[in-house]
Structure 1
Amino acid sequence: MSTRKGRVEFEDDNGRMVRYDRHANGGGLVSPDARASAEAQIARTAYVEAGATVGDRTRIGAWSWIDRDVAVGSDVVIGTHVHVGRGSRVGSRARIGSRARLGAGVVVEIGAHIEEDQIVDDHAVVPGRRRTRRGDQGLAA
Protein backbone atom coordinates (compact mmCIF):
# COMPACT_ATOMS: atom_id res chain seq x y z
CA MET A 1 0.00 0.00 0.00
CA SER A 2 1.26 3.48 -0.80
CA THR A 3 -0.08 6.95 -0.11
CA ARG A 4 0.65 10.36 -1.58
CA LYS A 5 -1.18 13.64 -1.09
CA GLY A 6 -4.40 12.04 0.08
CA ARG A 7 -4.29 9.18 -2.44
CA VAL A 8 -4.19 5.57 -1.24
CA GLU A 9 -3.14 2.79 -3.62
CA PHE A 10 -2.99 -0.96 -3.05
CA GLU A 11 -3.32 -4.26 -4.86
CA ASP A 12 -6.67 -6.03 -4.55
CA ASP A 13 -7.25 -9.79 -4.25
CA ASN A 14 -7.18 -10.12 -8.06
CA GLY A 15 -3.79 -8.41 -8.42
CA ARG A 16 -5.23 -5.15 -9.75
CA MET A 17 -4.04 -1.79 -8.46
CA VAL A 18 -6.92 0.17 -6.88
CA ARG A 19 -6.81 3.83 -5.94
CA TYR A 20 -8.81 5.97 -3.55
CA ASP A 21 -8.68 9.61 -2.57
CA ARG A 22 -9.23 10.77 0.99
CA HIS A 23 -12.47 12.73 1.33
CA ALA A 24 -11.90 16.20 2.75
CA ASN A 25 -14.70 15.80 5.30
CA GLY A 26 -13.92 12.72 7.39
CA GLY A 27 -11.06 11.23 5.41
CA GLY A 28 -13.01 8.30 3.95
CA LEU A 29 -11.69 6.50 0.89
CA VAL A 30 -13.44 7.58 -2.33
CA SER A 31 -12.64 6.16 -5.76
CA PRO A 32 -11.45 8.80 -8.24
CA ASP A 33 -14.31 7.48 -10.42
CA ALA A 34 -16.97 8.24 -7.76
CA ARG A 35 -18.61 11.56 -6.89
CA ALA A 36 -19.02 12.49 -3.24
CA SER A 37 -20.37 15.88 -2.21
CA ALA A 38 -17.93 18.08 -0.31
CA GLU A 39 -20.79 18.51 2.19
CA ALA A 40 -20.96 14.77 2.88
CA GLN A 41 -19.14 13.28 5.86
CA ILE A 42 -17.39 9.99 5.13
CA ALA A 43 -15.67 8.21 8.03
CA ARG A 44 -11.96 7.53 7.62
CA THR A 45 -12.46 3.75 7.35
CA ALA A 46 -15.43 3.92 4.93
CA TYR A 47 -15.14 3.16 1.20
CA VAL A 48 -17.01 4.64 -1.76
CA GLU A 49 -16.41 2.63 -4.95
CA ALA A 50 -16.21 3.66 -8.61
CA GLY A 51 -19.40 4.92 -10.21
CA ALA A 52 -21.02 5.71 -6.87
CA THR A 53 -22.48 9.10 -5.93
CA VAL A 54 -22.98 10.50 -2.44
CA GLY A 55 -25.28 13.49 -1.89
CA ASP A 56 -25.06 16.62 0.21
CA ARG A 57 -25.03 16.33 4.01
CA THR A 58 -24.98 12.53 3.91
CA ARG A 59 -23.07 10.78 6.71
CA ILE A 60 -21.38 7.43 6.15
CA GLY A 61 -20.18 5.62 9.28
CA ALA A 62 -16.95 3.81 10.02
CA TRP A 63 -16.19 0.59 8.15
CA SER A 64 -19.13 1.06 5.78
CA TRP A 65 -18.82 0.17 2.11
CA ILE A 66 -20.72 1.88 -0.69
CA ASP A 67 -20.30 -0.54 -3.59
CA ARG A 68 -19.93 0.21 -7.31
CA ASP A 69 -22.58 2.25 -9.12
CA VAL A 70 -24.58 3.06 -5.97
CA ALA A 71 -26.49 6.35 -5.74
CA VAL A 72 -26.95 7.79 -2.25
CA GLY A 73 -29.19 10.86 -1.95
CA SER A 74 -28.88 13.89 0.31
CA ASP A 75 -29.32 13.94 4.09
CA VAL A 76 -28.89 10.15 4.38
CA VAL A 77 -27.43 8.58 7.52
CA ILE A 78 -25.58 5.28 7.08
CA GLY A 79 -24.41 3.58 10.28
CA THR A 80 -21.20 1.67 10.92
CA HIS A 81 -20.26 -1.62 9.22
CA VAL A 82 -22.96 -1.23 6.54
CA HIS A 83 -22.67 -2.66 3.02
CA VAL A 84 -24.78 -1.07 0.29
CA GLY A 85 -24.73 -3.53 -2.63
CA ARG A 86 -23.75 -2.81 -6.20
CA GLY A 87 -26.20 -0.72 -8.24
CA SER A 88 -28.44 0.11 -5.28
CA ARG A 89 -30.30 3.43 -4.89
CA VAL A 90 -30.75 5.12 -1.50
CA GLY A 91 -33.27 7.97 -1.45
CA SER A 92 -32.78 11.23 0.38
CA ARG A 93 -33.43 11.32 4.13
CA ALA A 94 -33.13 7.52 4.43
CA ARG A 95 -31.62 5.96 7.56
CA ILE A 96 -29.63 2.72 7.45
CA GLY A 97 -28.76 1.16 10.80
CA SER A 98 -25.37 -0.23 11.73
CA ARG A 99 -24.39 -3.65 10.39
CA ALA A 100 -27.21 -3.67 7.82
CA ARG A 101 -26.53 -5.47 4.54
CA LEU A 102 -28.20 -4.38 1.32
CA GLY A 103 -27.99 -6.70 -1.66
CA ALA A 104 -27.39 -5.65 -5.26
CA GLY A 105 -29.93 -3.44 -7.00
CA VAL A 106 -31.87 -2.54 -3.85
CA VAL A 107 -34.09 0.56 -3.95
CA VAL A 108 -34.42 2.40 -0.64
CA GLU A 109 -37.16 4.97 -1.09
CA ILE A 110 -37.03 8.54 0.20
CA GLY A 111 -37.23 8.67 4.00
CA ALA A 112 -37.06 4.89 4.48
CA HIS A 113 -35.58 3.37 7.63
CA ILE A 114 -33.59 0.14 7.70
CA GLU A 115 -33.00 -1.26 11.17
CA GLU A 116 -29.65 -2.32 12.61
CA ASP A 117 -28.49 -5.80 11.52
CA GLN A 118 -31.22 -6.01 8.84
CA ILE A 119 -30.46 -7.92 5.64
CA VAL A 120 -32.19 -6.68 2.48
CA ASP A 121 -32.29 -9.14 -0.43
CA ASP A 122 -31.10 -8.32 -3.95
CA HIS A 123 -33.49 -6.10 -5.95
CA ALA A 124 -35.82 -5.49 -3.00
CA VAL A 125 -37.68 -2.20 -2.56
CA VAL A 126 -37.70 -0.65 0.93
CA PRO A 127 -40.71 1.69 1.12
CA GLY A 128 -40.33 5.20 2.43
CA ARG A 129 -42.17 6.55 5.40
CA ARG A 130 -45.36 8.30 4.46
CA ARG A 131 -45.66 11.80 5.84
CA THR A 132 -49.07 12.63 7.20
CA ARG A 133 -50.59 15.98 6.43
CA ARG A 134 -52.30 18.06 9.05
CA GLY A 135 -55.80 16.69 9.47
CA ASP A 136 -54.88 13.34 7.88
CA GLN A 137 -54.53 10.88 10.72
CA GLY A 138 -55.26 7.74 8.77
CA LEU A 139 -58.83 7.43 10.04
CA ALA A 140 -61.50 5.93 7.81
CA ALA A 141 -64.35 8.24 6.91
Structure 2
Amino acid sequence: MTKPEIILTQRDLDAIEMGLIDATLTPEFIDALETELARAKIVKPADLPDDCVALNQQVTFRVVETDKVFTRTLVVPGKARSADDNLSVFAPLGAALIGLKVGQSIQWQTNRGLQTVEVLGVAAGGDQQMDNAG
Protein backbone atom coordinates (compact mmCIF):
# COMPACT_ATOMS: atom_id res chain seq x y z
CA MET A 1 0.00 0.00 0.00
CA THR A 2 1.38 3.41 -0.99
CA LYS A 3 1.60 5.83 1.90
CA PRO A 4 -0.77 8.79 1.54
CA GLU A 5 0.37 12.39 1.70
CA ILE A 6 0.23 13.80 5.22
CA ILE A 7 -0.06 17.46 6.17
CA LEU A 8 0.93 18.96 9.54
CA THR A 9 1.18 22.41 11.01
CA GLN A 10 4.53 23.50 12.41
CA ARG A 11 2.81 23.84 15.80
CA ASP A 12 1.69 20.19 15.74
CA LEU A 13 5.12 19.04 14.57
CA ASP A 14 6.79 20.99 17.41
CA ALA A 15 4.35 19.61 19.99
CA ILE A 16 4.96 16.03 18.84
CA GLU A 17 8.73 16.46 18.80
CA MET A 18 8.68 18.01 22.30
CA GLY A 19 6.47 15.18 23.52
CA LEU A 20 8.90 12.59 22.16
CA ILE A 21 11.56 13.88 24.54
CA ASP A 22 9.53 12.83 27.59
CA ALA A 23 7.77 9.82 26.11
CA THR A 24 8.74 6.28 26.95
CA LEU A 25 8.33 4.63 23.56
CA THR A 26 10.07 1.78 21.82
CA PRO A 27 12.87 2.69 19.41
CA GLU A 28 10.91 1.00 16.59
CA PHE A 29 7.85 3.17 17.25
CA ILE A 30 9.93 6.36 17.46
CA ASP A 31 11.63 5.48 14.15
CA ALA A 32 8.26 4.85 12.46
CA LEU A 33 6.78 8.10 13.78
CA GLU A 34 9.85 10.14 12.85
CA THR A 35 9.76 8.65 9.34
CA GLU A 36 6.14 9.79 8.99
CA LEU A 37 6.92 13.27 10.34
CA ALA A 38 9.88 13.63 7.97
CA ARG A 39 7.70 13.03 4.91
CA ALA A 40 4.94 15.41 6.03
CA LYS A 41 4.11 18.60 4.20
CA ILE A 42 4.33 21.42 6.78
CA VAL A 43 1.84 24.29 6.49
CA LYS A 44 0.67 27.29 8.50
CA PRO A 45 -2.41 26.60 10.66
CA ALA A 46 -4.53 28.79 8.38
CA ASP A 47 -3.46 26.65 5.40
CA LEU A 48 -4.32 23.29 6.98
CA PRO A 49 -7.26 21.76 5.09
CA ASP A 50 -10.45 21.48 7.16
CA ASP A 51 -10.60 17.76 6.51
CA CYS A 52 -7.07 17.05 7.78
CA VAL A 53 -6.40 15.35 11.13
CA ALA A 54 -4.49 17.61 13.54
CA LEU A 55 -3.82 17.66 17.26
CA ASN A 56 -6.79 18.57 19.47
CA GLN A 57 -9.25 17.60 16.76
CA GLN A 58 -11.94 15.01 17.06
CA VAL A 59 -11.40 12.33 14.44
CA THR A 60 -13.76 9.56 13.41
CA PHE A 61 -11.93 6.59 11.95
CA ARG A 62 -12.45 2.97 11.04
CA VAL A 63 -10.10 0.06 11.61
CA VAL A 64 -10.61 -1.82 8.35
CA GLU A 65 -9.70 -5.29 9.63
CA THR A 66 -12.35 -5.20 12.38
CA ASP A 67 -14.75 -2.74 10.68
CA LYS A 68 -15.01 -0.93 14.04
CA VAL A 69 -15.56 2.83 14.02
CA PHE A 70 -14.20 5.12 16.74
CA THR A 71 -14.38 8.85 17.48
CA ARG A 72 -11.50 10.23 19.54
CA THR A 73 -9.71 13.54 20.15
CA LEU A 74 -6.07 13.32 19.05
CA VAL A 75 -3.78 14.69 21.77
CA VAL A 76 -0.21 14.87 23.01
CA PRO A 77 -0.11 13.15 26.43
CA GLY A 78 -0.16 15.60 29.31
CA LYS A 79 -1.98 18.27 27.29
CA ALA A 80 -5.41 16.68 27.44
CA ARG A 81 -8.23 18.13 29.53
CA SER A 82 -9.93 14.79 30.11
CA ALA A 83 -9.02 11.24 29.20
CA ASP A 84 -12.49 9.98 28.30
CA ASP A 85 -12.32 10.18 24.51
CA ASN A 86 -8.67 11.00 23.90
CA LEU A 87 -6.24 9.17 21.66
CA SER A 88 -2.55 9.86 22.13
CA VAL A 89 -0.54 10.72 19.04
CA PHE A 90 2.03 8.36 20.61
CA ALA A 91 -0.39 5.42 20.46
CA PRO A 92 -0.09 3.36 17.28
CA LEU A 93 -3.49 4.43 15.92
CA GLY A 94 -2.89 8.07 16.87
CA ALA A 95 0.45 8.10 15.07
CA ALA A 96 -1.20 6.56 12.04
CA LEU A 97 -3.94 9.21 11.92
CA ILE A 98 -1.99 12.46 12.32
CA GLY A 99 -1.87 14.43 9.08
CA LEU A 100 -4.30 12.26 7.10
CA LYS A 101 -7.31 13.72 5.31
CA VAL A 102 -10.87 12.42 5.28
CA GLY A 103 -11.07 9.46 2.91
CA GLN A 104 -7.40 8.53 3.24
CA SER A 105 -6.20 5.32 4.83
CA ILE A 106 -2.82 4.00 5.95
CA GLN A 107 -1.40 0.71 7.14
CA TRP A 108 0.30 0.97 10.51
CA GLN A 109 1.93 -1.45 12.91
CA THR A 110 -0.21 -1.76 16.04
CA ASN A 111 -0.22 -4.01 19.09
CA ARG A 112 -2.49 -6.32 17.07
CA GLY A 113 -0.23 -6.41 14.03
CA LEU A 114 -0.43 -4.45 10.78
CA GLN A 115 -3.78 -2.68 10.56
CA THR A 116 -5.37 -0.31 8.07
CA VAL A 117 -6.96 2.85 9.45
CA GLU A 118 -9.33 5.00 7.39
CA VAL A 119 -10.29 8.57 8.30
CA LEU A 120 -14.06 9.10 8.11
CA GLY A 121 -14.35 12.62 9.52
CA VAL A 122 -12.72 15.41 11.54
CA ALA A 123 -14.11 18.18 13.72
CA ALA A 124 -12.27 20.94 15.54
CA GLY A 125 -11.69 20.31 19.21
CA GLY A 126 -11.46 22.81 22.04
CA ASP A 127 -7.85 23.88 21.49
CA GLN A 128 -7.63 23.76 17.69
CA GLN A 129 -8.16 27.49 17.17
CA MET A 130 -5.75 28.52 19.96
CA ASP A 131 -2.94 29.80 17.78
CA ASN A 132 -3.40 30.84 14.21
CA ALA A 133 -0.10 32.70 14.03
CA GLY A 134 2.39 29.88 13.84
TM-score > 0.5 by shorter chain = no
Give the structure-2-normalised TM-score.
0.25
Larger Rg: 1
Give the structure-1-normalised TM-score.
0.25
**Structure of greater relative contact order (alpha carbons < 8 Å, 6+ residues apart):** 2
